[in-house]
Structure 1
Amino acid sequence: MNSFWWEKTGSNQRGLRWMSWDKLTYHKSEGGLGFRKIHLYHLALLSKQSWKLVSEPNSLVAQVFKAHYYTSSSFLEANLGANPRYVWRSLLETKYLLSRGVRRRIGSGHQTLIWDTPWLPDVSNPYIVSACPPGLQLSAVSSLRLSDTCGWDVDLLNEVFEERDKNLIQSIPLSQRECEDRWIWGADPLGKGIYTVKTMVLWGIWNARNNVVWNGKLTPTTIVFHTAMDQHAQWLKTNKRHENNAPSSIQQISTAWCPPPSCFFKCNVDAALFTDPPRIGVGCIICYSSGAVISDMCGSLPGSFSSIIAEALAIREVLKWINELNLSKVIVESDALVVVEALRSTIQDVSSLGLILEYCSSLASELHSSFSFVRRSANQMAHSLARSSGSLSGFVRRVFSQPSVVSFFNV
């Protein structure tokens, strides 16, 4: 490549090479021309193929490779083996890169071992650090769940795990439906668990290599990897600024509550976070088009969740309540813009949050219901109910046989 760059046009004479190819691959800010190594592009494309072997184990090509090279394990545990083909050698070169970012999303928990599997939501260390009690080496994550509810067995967690592991486990929301565990890409800057070819990561690795060769500076792999992902996230943020500055229909939303159209119901929902003990509060109020309140609900769920997951869980609980009331054509209003946009989006999300959103979208479709964003000032009643649920250990639900009209217009 260096010969091609410095060669004189239309001449067989070799040009004077003013700079080595390695230095040409430096970023322009570092004195180079920003060229990429073809090998790195090749490695990025191979990584995507290797990711398919991990994330789609039932595909034909994955089953063929498994039968030949890792019959009793997974791709992430595979070795080179005897007489490997060139294709297998190439794919195996990407195993280390994948192992740094791969994570296990918990569905039922039956297919994931508690120890020696990266399933905790921790960027720096997704593994259990607590000592494994004798005889539990092959225990699955499903053994940590309560059999009669969709929650964690807190007493068991307190008995077996250290504080760090216990808190991380409780921050994982559990699915309301039986679904398989699956591999996701934990380094996705959008948080959806989708693997894509990020040449910026490879570029960061290449820069780290250059620092070792030319400057004698060794950068830890974790710092190289996460710095590159942070840079990519900043790039996405910068390129979306023009979208944020553009006029939005959200800016036209009224700051006061308004009743739903005729023959529709409206359900306002909100979540609140509590720390002692860690749990989330849920509040909702359901009214008819006349403004008459027909039901309200407040309660709490145990667990230390992020604000986004807490809002999604609140919507899930509300939809379950709406289903029990046999209501349909319900407009579910929330002041969590990120969650509402995610529920409306058609982009695939295989993360733990995506599992909740998938359940909510599916149930809302069955109920012929929809989601709408509303400002906090128009959601004060649900917010107050969520905040008042701090002392509750379960849920309090009320249905009014003689609905009363409550004025939301001045709230």
Structure 2
Amino acid sequence: MLAKQACRLINKTNPLVTNSMKARYYADTDFLDAGLGANPSFMWRSIMAAQGVVKQNCRRKIGDGRSTRVWQIPWLPCCDNGFPTTVPHEELKDILVHNLMTEDQKAWDVDVLNDLFNDRDRALIQQIPIPSRSRPDPWYWPLDDKGVFTAPRRVEFLNTFATELWKKIGLQDIIPGDESVTVLQILLNAFRTNNRDKRALVGLFCWGIWFRRNTWVWDKRSISVFGVQSMAMQLLQDWRRNQEQNEDSDHRNQRARTSRWCKPQEGWIKVNIDAACHHQLEFIGMGCVARDDSGRFLRARSERMQGGMSPREAEAWSFRAALSWMKLWKTQR
């Protein structure tokens, strides 16, 4: 996907975005020769990570040759290396492909080619047809039959490292042998045919592969298969633990919602008590509230005592204090 965005920049698919990026990051050059700059954004860093892939695999299709520099842009029809391998003369480093054509722009100037290029470069140049009508030099993707950039569908997901990882955790069955199946289809099938834990495992290992890729791009640090596996399994355990805690919390909240104050029998008074222990300040506090059989508030009391107690002892002291308070109140029920 990053390489596709880079191809859109060099093809000027969106002129507004392309001109904005060019003005900000590569005003005096083109994308293939651009650098990160002094203060690059995260988006620009990400696109620049794919610059090498684009530079290695894309090619310039020759039209009038007026926008293609001979030694700075890949334009030769060779999948391995689109740049000329001939060492240029110092004064000829910035010449354009246009300068290699005859005056009528309908053929290659053989004398110029013989003077400037080695056998390999000369043979490749002469394979390039010159269009009958003058037109700009577009970019194309030689790995695709239509010349349009297509991201490798299974490279990152099914490369050697990833395949070894899937086999190590016993998920090699999710990878079909049919090369026409896309990564999206593989993942959809894995999520449809597996239980929740296995779906979580697939998602976490995909994240682990992507994290390993970013660690190498930004920090030049490689993570082993065991490292990715350990990291993903730890995340899975944390996720399961969090799910269990959420379920316990839901049960507690349900119990809390169903636990309600109940009225006493007719003619009786109900007293609720509670206690709190403050170990750092070394004191305990208690509180009690009295309500009648209709739930009407009657009176309340709180008390504080210096000293340290366990929670059980504090509750017992609170119960005793409430009984003494009720005794002073002179009620029998």
**Which structure has the higher relative contact order (CA within 8 Å, separation 6+)?**
1
Bin for the TM-score computed over the shorter chain = 0.3 to 0.5
TM-score, length of structure 1 as denominator length = 0.38
- Larger fraction in strand: 1
TM-score, length of structure 2 as denominator length = 0.47
